[in-house]
Amino acid sequence: MPESAVSDGGALLARALAAHGVRTLFTLCGGHTAPVLIGARRAGLRVIDVRHEASAVFAADALARLEGTPGVAVVTAGPGVTNTVTAVKNAQQAQSPVVVIGGAAPTVLQGRGALQDIDQRALMAPHVKAVLRVTRRRDLVRLTDEALRRAAEPMAGPVFLECPLDVLYPEALVREWYLKGAEKRTSLRGRVETMWLRRHLARLFAPESSGAPPRRAGLPEVVANGPLARAAGLLAAAERPLLLLGSQVLQRPAQAVELASALGSLGVPVYLSGLARGLLGADHPLQVRHGRRRALGEADLVLLAGSPTDFRLDYGRVIPRRCALVKVNLDRGELRRNRRGILGVHADPARFLIALAERAPRAPAAGAAGWLSALRERDAERDEQIVASGEPEGDETGVHPVRLFQAIGEVMDEDATLIGDGGDFVATAAYVLRPGGPLRWLDPGVFGTLGIGGGFAVAAAAARGSQVWLLWGDGSCGFSIAELDTMARHGLGVIAVVGNDASWAQIARDQVRLLGDDVGTVLAPTAYERVAEGFGGRGIAVRGPDELPKALEQAIEIAASGVPVLLNVLLCASRFREGSLSM
């Protein structure tokens, strides 16, 4: 069907999305973008409407991570766009391919005080890879193609596509709006204005012209032989090697199995972070979980693949200068940032590791086996300490967070998706819970954003038929608890677990210790289970460890029926984590 036969720009844009394989878009409705939503539904796309624009972008971000293709959010003009900024910045920091389609005032009225008319492009430019603006209907398909391509190409990230109202609505309706009363404009000024409007409309709806087909983005497939040979030589000589894998290694989820096999062939102890968590399953003998700082201080070779040398690695200072550092990253700037390695490779880190496994010697250097055994012994000791820490202290009421996560780990499905949205509560979960496979653990990423939970859970439940567990701190749940309504309306059976200690605990711990005041960190023991009921879900209160097994059993059963359920778990005091301030 030619573009001229499509009824309006919204339908044209939706058809372009569908042609790229987009199956779901996330939105909060608005008059500026209504034709896109209608066109999307008619084109067979699933339209999931959320309760806050940030959640729409968070959901698009999560879907992009899970599927490896751009996620799409559609928001209205003005406040609709401004509400997305934190979520867009989170996607930028996490290198997630997201396209945010924002409505805008009609082209003729921009800059003249129209409803919700602001300079959206200037607002979004610092937080996205590209800002694209449609000013003619004929450019909708081309610019949509470009937005999707630029979001996905290395390095991935968000793109903002601005679509004014008059580009999206049916041509006949827009002409009626602009030329209403034209026959009464008999003055010279009125006739000139009408003439200008007709010329503007002619440009706005000019017929399409043929052009080159859209280019699709892809990650580089070929890894240069020189860096591979040098890395293989360093690995062969190392007695205490370590691999540190970050989120970039799973930009293409389809290669997760091949990558896991390659890591097994290399036989090197590996730490997984970000999206890489779960890559090797729950109990792989090469994966090390605890004592990373100490291990880095002892290593003689560190291969950092797809992860930055940022605050989490003390800007590279935790890796001694005597240690050989190899950095593999899609970001050329990251190869030089904070700490240079003796080898920096600009490549897809997953492809590099797979190629390295094909040529690296299988036999480890003398002493390497003992190195792995030592790391595993330390892991086992730390696991025993974590288990012991979950025992109740005195006569305190409530559930210890470690015990809570141990109980969840005992009942959750192997293919369950875990979503962490919180500070202290989620950091504890990361010590205890073990995702059963790749892309089964989602958190905000390096930006540390609170409020991702509702949107991430909506996307995960929509994309997968397996269990979705949303781990909410009682502080962070306030950002997106309204998305329980979204889950209920769309039949998404998410299991939300709120760790309720009536505190912004991660902040309070250091604030009280260092500054002697808890101001701003104290919450109330709110009945979040009643909030869930009000939004159409189910709620269960858990006040002690004896109530936990039955509550988890009920929650799993309720969620399996497509109804979201929230467990409001009263936590007892815990000293499991100390000293959490990051700079």
> 315-333 pLDDT, tens per residue?
999 999 999 999 999 999 9
- Region of 93 (left: φ > 0; alpha: ψ -120 to 50; beta: rest) is alpha
If we measure between CA atoms, which residue out of 75, 72, 71 comes closest to residue 85?
75
The pLDDT, as a whole number, for residue 211 is: 46
Instruction: For residue 9, give the 3-state DSSP assignment.
Output: helix
CB 131 within 8 A of CB 125: yes
Above 90 in pLDDT, residue 117? no
The pLDDT, as a whole number, for residue 377 is: 94
The pairing of strands 71-75 and 241-245 is unpaired
CB 476 within 8 A of CB 451: yes
If pLDDT is split at 50, 70 and 90, which confidence band does 75 have?
A: very high
Helices (H), 34-117: 34-42, 53-67, 79-82, 85-94
Cα 314 to its chain centre, rounded Å, is 23
- How many whole angstroms separate alpha carbon 558 and alpha carbon 162? 41
DSSP string across 132-193: EE--SGGGHHHHHHHHHHHHHSSSP-EEEEEEEHHHHS-HHHHHHHHHTTGGG--SHHHHHH
Tokens of 480: 């997106």
Q: What is the percentage of the chain residues whose pLDDT exceeds 70?
A: 93
For 186-217, the pLDDT digits (tens) are 787 878 888 888 898 889 888 875 444 455 55
**Mean of pLDDT values over 243-260:** 94
* Maximum separation of any 2 CA atoms in the chain, in Å: 94
CB 3 within 8 A of CB 208: yes
DSSP string across 448-512: --S--HHHHHHHHHHH-SS-EEEEEETTTHHHHTTHHHHHHHTT---EEEEEE-SB-HHHHHHHH
- How many whole angstroms separate alpha carbon 58 and alpha carbon 454? 8
**Other beta carbons less than 10 A from residue 485's beta carbon:** 18
- Omega within 30 of 0 (cis) for the link into 155: yes
Crossing angle of helices 171-179 and 188-204, rounded to 10°: 170
- How many whole angstroms separate alpha carbon 19 and alpha carbon 411? 40
Crossing angle of helices 349-359 and 225-237, rounded to 10°: 60
**SS3 sequence of 294-316:** HHHHHCCEEEEECCCCCHHHHHH
Q: What is the percentage of the chain residues whose pLDDT exceeds 90?
A: 75
Structural Rg of the chain based on CA atoms: 26
CB 509 within 8 A of CB 424: yes
The pLDDT, as a whole number, for residue 209 is: 55
If pLDDT is split at 50, 70 and 90, which confidence band does 566 have?
A: very high
If pLDDT is split at 50, 70 and 90, which confidence band does 1 have?
A: very low
CB 68 within 8 A of CB 254: yes
If we measure between CA atoms, which residue out of 481, 501, 452 comes closest to residue 54?
452
The pLDDT, as a whole number, for residue 210 is: 47
CB 315 within 8 A of CB 338: yes
Tokens of 538: 């189910």
Question: pTM of this prediction?
Answer: 0.93
Least confident residue range of 154-168, 237-251, 386-400, 486-500: 386-400
- Quote the DSSP letter at residue 322: T
- How many whole angstroms separate alpha carbon 442 and alpha carbon 395? 35
Amino acid (one-letter) located at 507? I
**Hey, which residues does 570 pair with through a beta bridge?**
500
Handedness of CA 501, 502, 505, 509 (dihedral sign): negative
**Other beta carbons less than 10 A from residue 527's beta carbon:** 13
DSSP string across 266-280: HT--EEE-GGGTTTT
For 288-306, the pLDDT digits (tens) are 999 999 999 999 999 999 9
If we measure between CA atoms, which residue out of 265, 239, 243 comes closest to residue 326?
243
CB 461 within 8 A of CB 492: yes
Q: Which domains does the chain have, with CATH numbers?
A: 3-204 (3.40.50.970), 225-372 (3.40.50.1220), 390-570 (3.40.50.970)
For 158-182, the pLDDT digits (tens) are 999 999 999 999 999 988 888 887 7
For 525-555, the pLDDT digits (tens) are 999 999 999 999 999 999 999 999 999 999 9
Least confident residue range of 110-124, 228-242, 452-466: 110-124
The pLDDT, as a whole number, for residue 394 is: 61
Above 70 in pLDDT, residue 573? yes
Q: What are the φ/ψ torsions at residue 568 (nearest 5 degrees)?
A: -95, 100
CB 552 within 8 A of CB 407: yes
Q: How many CA atoms lie within 13 A of 456 on its CB side?
A: 33
